[in-house]
Structure formats: C-alpha cells, structure tokens
Structure 1
Amino acid sequence: MKRLAVILSLSATPALAATGPFFSLRNTDFIVTIAFLLFVGILVYFKVPRIIGNMLDKRAEGIRADLEEARKLREEAQELYASYERRQREVKGQADEIVANAKREAVAQADKAKADLETSIQRRLKGAEDQIASAENDAVRAVRDRAVQTAIAAASEILRQQGSEADRRAALDSSIDEVAQRLH
C-alpha cells in the first residue's frame, strides 16, 4: 500500500500533467527544467559550491577564533574576579586589623591620659599640702615670734618692777639665752 502511494505521488508531477509532448520547446516545464540544469551546470563550472564552501569554512574558522577569544577573555575575567575577591578579603582583613589597632591605641591613650591626670592631681595635691605645711610653719613661727616678743616685753616689765638694773640685765640675758636655746 505504501509503495502504491509513493508511485502515485511521484506520477502526479506537473510535468506529467501537461498536455502534449514533454520534450518540446513549447512546454514550459521542459524549458524551466533545462534552465535549471543549465544554471546548476554554470554554478558547478565556475566552482560556486566550492567558493561557498570555502566562505562557509572561513566563517566557521572566524567563529571558532571568536569563540576561542571569548573563552580566553572569560578565563581572564574569572582570574580578575578571583583576584578582586582575594584583594577584597585582604583589604577587609587589613581594615579589621586597623580598626582593632585603633581601638587598642584609643584605650591605651585613654589609660595614659587617665594616669597623667591622676599624676597631675597627685602633684597638685602634694603642692597644695606643701603650701599648707609651709603656711602652717610660717603661722607657727609668727605665733612663736609674737609669743617671744610678748614674753620678752612681759619679762622686761616684771624685771623692771622687781629688782636692780644689774639683776634685770642678768635675768634678761639668761632669759634670752634660754629662749634662743628652745627656739633652735
């Protein structure tokens, strides 16, 4: 059945459907067939299929070269990307290290400033204590001097009232010596 269908479909060509003899110059199907065969013959004579094949081969080679170049560029881009990622990790690590160092230095500077402030306060307290002690010593000395002057004046007055001039001088000299010994 299939063979019969194939034979019938091949026999139903327009060339067989035309009326009259097939090999006649009045039959357009014959003329078209001859023109087509002549056209194909000219193409083969001038080696057009080979030229087209060579052109297609050159085009295929160009495409292969472009693909190879694209592959190389892709590899270079991947290498650059990997390098960028490595550099980014390194820079991030360096940045983290810089931040950690800055924090450590800030803490160290704060501790140093705190220690310097404490030392300064201690020096000022010591200076104030020294000034207070000096003022206290000056006040004690002034009070002693005033007490000595008052004692000398009182003793002079008592001695004047009590005895003779020679006794008073001797008592005054001994009192001065005694006061001088106590003060020094």
Structure 2
Amino acid sequence: MMKKLTLLLILAAQPALAASGPFFSLRNTDFVVTIAFLLFVGVVLYAKVPKLLGGMLDKRAEGIKADLEEARSLREEAQSILATYERKAREVQAQADEIVVAAKRDAQNAAEQAKADLQVSIARRLKAAEDQIASAESAAVKEVKDTAVSVAVAAAGEVLAKQMTAKDQSSMIDAAIAEVETRLH
C-alpha cells in the first residue's frame, strides 16, 4: 500500500510540465530528474531502508526508555539515601540535644553539691572555731581560777603565818597529812 501511494504521489508531482520539449526525452532535464528520483526511491525501498530506519529509531527509543528507567531508579535510590541521611541527622541532633541537656543537668547538680559541701565545710569550721574558743575560754577561766587560788592560798598563808604560832602550824601540817592519807587510800 505504501509503495503504491509513493508512486502515485511521485507521478502527481510532475515537475516535467515546466520543461520545454517532449517529456519522454533524455534531453528533458525534468524527465531525467524524475527517472533519477524514481530509481533512488526504488533503491531505498529495495534496500529496506525505511525498515532499517524504523529499527534504528526503535532501538534508540528503547535505549532512551532504558536510560529513563535507570535515571528514575537512581533518583529513587538518591531520595532513599537522602531520607536515610536526614533521619540520621535528626537522630544525631536529638542525641546532641540530649547530651547538652544532660551536661547542663550534671553541671547544675555539681554546683548544688559543691554549694552543699561548702555549707557543710563552713559549718564544720565554725563548729571547730567555736570549740577552740570554748576550750580557750575554759583554759583561761581555769588559769584565772588557779591564779586566784594561788594568790588566795599565798595571801592566806601569809595571814596565817603572821597569826599562827609554831605549835599551831605543826598541828595543821599533821591534819593536812592525815587528810591526804585518807583521800589517797
């Protein structure tokens, strides 16, 4: 059908009407061109060039289709890799946020512990200072009492020495020795 249509269109074009002289002559350029064209079309059809061109176009279309499929699969793979990386980035960011929160919490706990330890240390030092002050105070009071007793004993001894006779002194010494013996035994 295609061959018949091609021949009909070739004959209908008839550029030979524009040339002068008899049409079926080799001197008529239009006739020669028409014959050459018909021979060319015949060779092309005989060599099955349209079928070859169609096959080449089909191969090219299949290649393009395969390239498009490969590009589509690569795009899908890239999207899945991107989604994986985005998910991992979100996980890493969440872990970083958790680490920051934990570090802040630990720092706050450490600050509170240090504050409590400092308060305990201050209370302990105050207690030690108060104990030292109380000890020094009691030592001073004891020293004052001892000094007062020594002074009182010395003064009493002087007063007694002036007022007592030798006989009274010897009887007091004997009484003191007896008292010491009873207290020691």
Calculate the TM-score normalised by the size of structure 1: 0.81
Within-5 A mapping of 1:32-43: 32-43=33-44
Judged with a 3 Å threshold, the aligned counterparts in structure 2 of structure 1 residues 171 and 155 are, in CA distance, closer, same or farther, namely farther
Mapped contact 1:156–1:172 kept (Cα < 8 A): no
Mapped contact 1:23–1:30 kept (Cα < 8 A): yes
Decide which moves more: 40-49 or 20-29: 40-49
- Distance in structure 1 (CA, Å) of the matches to 2:13 and 2:50: 31
Judged with a 3 Å threshold, the aligned counterparts in structure 2 of structure 1 residues 175 and 15 are, in CA distance, closer, same or farther, namely farther
Mapped contact 1:15–1:29 kept (Cα < 8 A): yes
Does structure 1 residue 85 correspond to structure 2 residue 86? yes
Mapped contact 1:15–1:22 kept (Cα < 8 A): yes
- Distance in structure 2 (CA, Å) of the matches to 1:45 and 1:12: 22
- Distance in structure 2 (CA, Å) of the matches to 1:173 and 1:63: 139
Mapped contact 1:24–1:30 kept (Cα < 8 A): yes
Decide which moves more: 143-152 or 59-68: 143-152
Q: After the TM superposition, which parts of structure 1 deviate over 4 Å for at least 4 consecutive aligned residues?
A: 169-176
- Distance in structure 2 (CA, Å) of the matches to 1:134 and 1:163: 41
- Distance in structure 2 (CA, Å) of the matches to 1:99 and 1:34: 91
Judged with a 3 Å threshold, the aligned counterparts in structure 2 of structure 1 residues 174 and 114 are, in CA distance, closer, same or farther, namely farther
Q: CA deviation digits over 1:90-127, x for unaligned, max 9?
A: 22222222221112111111100100110111111111
Specify every segment of 5 or more residues in structure 2 that has no aligned partner in the other structure, as ranges.
1-11, 180-185
Decide which moves more: 62-71 or 33-42: 33-42
DSSP-derived class of the 1:160 partner: helix
Partner of 1:60: 61
Does structure 1 residue 48 correspond to structure 2 residue 44? no
Q: CA deviation digits over 1:36-94, x for unaligned, max 9?
A: 12112222222222222222111111111100000001111111222222222222222
DSSP-derived class of the 1:141 partner: helix
Partner of 2:115: 114
Calculate the TM-score normalised by the size of structure 2: 0.80
- Distance in structure 2 (CA, Å) of the matches to 1:13 and 1:136: 144
Judged with a 3 Å threshold, the aligned counterparts in structure 2 of structure 1 residues 163 and 51 are, in CA distance, closer, same or farther, namely same
Partner of 1:160: 161
- Distance in structure 1 (CA, Å) of the matches to 2:121 and 2:102: 28
Aligned length: 169
Judged with a 3 Å threshold, the aligned counterparts in structure 2 of structure 1 residues 152 and 47 are, in CA distance, closer, same or farther, namely same
